[in-house]
Amino acid sequence: MTLKTILVHLDGSSNAQARVAAAAALARQHDAHLVGVAPTGWIVLPADGPGMLGLAEYQQAAMDQLREQADQCVSQFLEQALSLGVRSYEGRAELGNASEVMSLAARYSDLIVATQPNPDEPRSEQSTQMPQDVLLRAGRPLLLLPYVGECEVASAARVLVGWNGSREAARAMHDALPLLKMAASVEVAVFDAPEDVDRRHGELPGADIALWLARHGLNVKVSYVPIKVGAGEALLSHAADMGAQLIVTGGYGHSRLRETVLGGVTRTLMSSSPVPVLLSH
């Protein structure tokens, strides 16, 4: 796989500039076309009442304002992409809610770049839910950046890969190859209780997939991490211990209902990871 089209979500949040900078760095590194998309979002119509504009007039005025805000996001993106030296780029505002717009645009891209929702910054439910929806609907890998700090994904030297033998994890590993090949070191780690280790994937957990990565020319280390806490928390703890600058793992291996009930790994990483995470479903 190669990265030739990178999609970045545009909005008016405080971390939009850092998100575009991270996507632009990847575009320069991989000589990829960078696409910035700003969804307008929708409005919730209030009940019509005395002294108010008619619903149609209100809706038109509100949508015009949303369109103007999206156009401003695109203008800022174009200026930033030019200043950062991106060779090929385009920006556009799209009518619709963030999940639908970004999921559709992602199908014509190799990678989507978005940011964790910032709990301290008011955002619409549509925008907050967008990363999860895109991961499930788009059929493309999602690079989710933390909402605080700089994100130097293009220069990530140490990468942690969470491996459990699942289809989603295999998909993530393949999708991440362009980034893994740029890393100085890659650690493949299996987080599981001893009684839950799946021996169908070899006597040494993670060894088979590490051999596959090594054939791609990667410098790979394999670790088995027995756990007593949730796998998501264990993965983040291990990433901190090794100084990982990027985490790669599968996303939503179970149904969304089960993820919600059990507090799954995906939900933990998407809400709490202090470093960028590449997820595939």
What is the C-alpha separation between 75 and 81, in angstroms, rounded?
10
According to the model, what pLDDT value does residue 265 have? 83
- DSSP secondary-structure letter at 14? T
User: Helices 207-215 & 167-175, crossing angle to 10 degrees?
Assistant: 20
Q: Is the pLDDT of residue 26 over 90?
A: yes
What is the C-alpha separation between 170 and 172, in angstroms, rounded?
5
Higher per-residue pLDDT: 75 or 225: 75
CA angle 126, 129, 133 (to 5 degrees): 110
The mean pLDDT value for 3-22 works out to 95
The mean pLDDT value for 28-57 works out to 78
CB-side neighbour CA atoms (13 Å) of 47: 2
Expressed in angstroms, the distance from the first to the final Cα of the chain is 16
From residue 215, alpha-carbon distances to 64, 172, 212, 219, 220 in Å are 54, 17, 5, 10, 10
Strand order across the beta sheet in which 89-94 lies: 89-94, 33-39, 5-9, 111-115, 142-145, 277-280, 246-250, 158-162, 185-192, 220-226
What is the C-alpha separation between 259 and 48, in angstroms, rounded?
40
pLDDT digits (tens, 9 = 90+) for 14-25: 899 999 999 999
Residue appearing with tokens 């203008």: 75
The distance between the two most distant Cα atoms of the chain, rounded to a whole number of Å, is 74
Helix (H) or strand (E) holding 276: none
What is the C-alpha separation between 109 and 92, in angstroms, rounded?
15
The amino acid that residue 174 corresponds to is H
pLDDT digits (tens, 9 = 90+) for 140-171: 999 999 998 767 788 889 999 999 888 999 99
**Which domains does the chain carry?**
5-145 (3.40.50.620), 156-280 (3.40.50.620)
Q: Predicted confidence band at 263 (pLDDT cuts at 50, 70, 90)?
A: very low
Q: Is the pLDDT of residue 118 over 90?
A: no
The mean pLDDT value for 38-53 works out to 68
- Contact between residue 9 and residue 19 where contact means Cβ atoms under 8 Å apart: yes
